[in-house]
Structure 1
Amino acid sequence: MTAARSVLVERPGAHRLVTADAPPVPGPGEVRVAVHAAGICASDREVYDGTRADGYVRYPVVPGHEWSGTVAEAGPGVDASLVGRPCVGEGFRACGVCERCRSGETSLCTAGYEETGFTRPGAFADHLVLPARLLHMLDDGADLTAAALLEPAAVVAAAVLRAAPRAGERVAVLGAGTLGLLAVQLLAASSPADLVAVDPRDRPRTRAAAMGASRAASPEEAAELHGRFDLVVETAGAPGTARDACLLARRGGRVVLTGLPAPGAAGIDPVLVAVGQLTVAGVFGAPPAAWAYATRAFRLGLLRPRALVTHRLPLASFGEAIELVGSGDPEVGKVLLEPRGDR
Structure 2
Amino acid sequence: MTADDPAGGGDAAGRAVVVDRPGVHRLVRREVPVPGPGEVLVRVAAAGICLSDREVLDGHRAAGYVRYPVTPGHEWAGTVLAVGDGVDPALVGRRTVAEGFRACGACERCRCGETSLCLGGYAETGFTEPGAFADHLVVPARLLHPLPDDADLRAAALLEPAAVVAAAVRAGRPRPAERIAVVGAGTLGLLAVQLLAATSPAELAVIDPRAARADAALRFGATRSLGPDGADALHGRYDLVVETAGAPSTAASSCLLARRGGRVVLTGMFTAGATGIDPVHLSVSQLEVRSVFGASSAAWSDAVRAFTLGLLDPAPLVTHEFPLERFGDAVALVGGGDPATGKVLLRP
In the alignment, structure 2 segments of 5+ residues that lack a partner are 1-10
1:125 lines up with 2:134 in the alignment: yes
Q: Paired residue for 1:34?
A: 43
User: Superposed, which structure 2 residues align to 1:247-286 within 5 Å?
Assistant: 247-286=256-295
Q: Paired residue for 1:8?
A: 18
Q: Paired residue for 1:227?
A: 236
Percent identity over paired residues: 68
Paired AA for residue 137 in structure 2? L
User: Superposed, which structure 2 residues align to 1:13-162 within 5 Å?
Assistant: 13-20=23-30, 22-162=31-171
| Partner SS for 2:305 | helix
Mapped contact 2:179–2:237 kept (Cα < 8 A): yes
Paired AA for residue 98 in structure 1? C
Distance in 1 of aligned mates of 2:23 and 2:217:
33
Distance in 1 of aligned mates of 2:90 and 2:160:
24
Deviation readout 1:32-85 (Å, 9 max, x if unpaired): 000000000110011011111120001110000000000000000000000000
1:295 lines up with 2:304 in the alignment: yes
Distance in 2 of aligned mates of 1:2 and 1:159:
42
Query: RMSD in angstroms over aligned alpha carbons?
Result: 0.6
Q: Paired residue for 1:321?
A: 330
Distance in 1 of aligned mates of 2:117 and 2:242:
20
Stretch deviating more after TM superposition (319-328 or 164-173):
319-328
Paired AA for residue 202 in structure 1? A
Distance in 1 of aligned mates of 2:336 and 2:234:
31
- Kindly state the Cα deviation for residue 261 of structure 1 after the two structures are TM-superposed: 1.0
Mapped contact 2:211–2:226 kept (Cα < 8 A): no
**In the alignment, which of 197, 203, 220 is matched to residue 188 of structure 1?**
197
Distance in 2 of aligned mates of 1:138 and 1:130:
16
Paired AA for residue 282 in structure 1? S
Paired AA for residue 347 in structure 2? E
TM-score in terms of structure 2 length: 0.96
Q: How many residues align?
A: 338
Distance in 2 of aligned mates of 1:202 and 1:222:
13
Deviation readout 1:262-312 (Å, 9 max, x if unpaired): 111000011111100000000000001000000000011110100000001
Deviation readout 1:98-118 (Å, 9 max, x if unpaired): 000101111111111000000
Distance in 1 of aligned mates of 2:197 and 2:133:
32
Distance in 2 of aligned mates of 1:111 and 1:141:
36
| Partner SS for 1:130 | strand
- Kindly state the Cα deviation for residue 127 of structure 1 after the two structures are TM-superposed: 0.4
Paired AA for residue 13 in structure 1? G
Stretch deviating more after TM superposition (187-196 or 197-206):
197-206
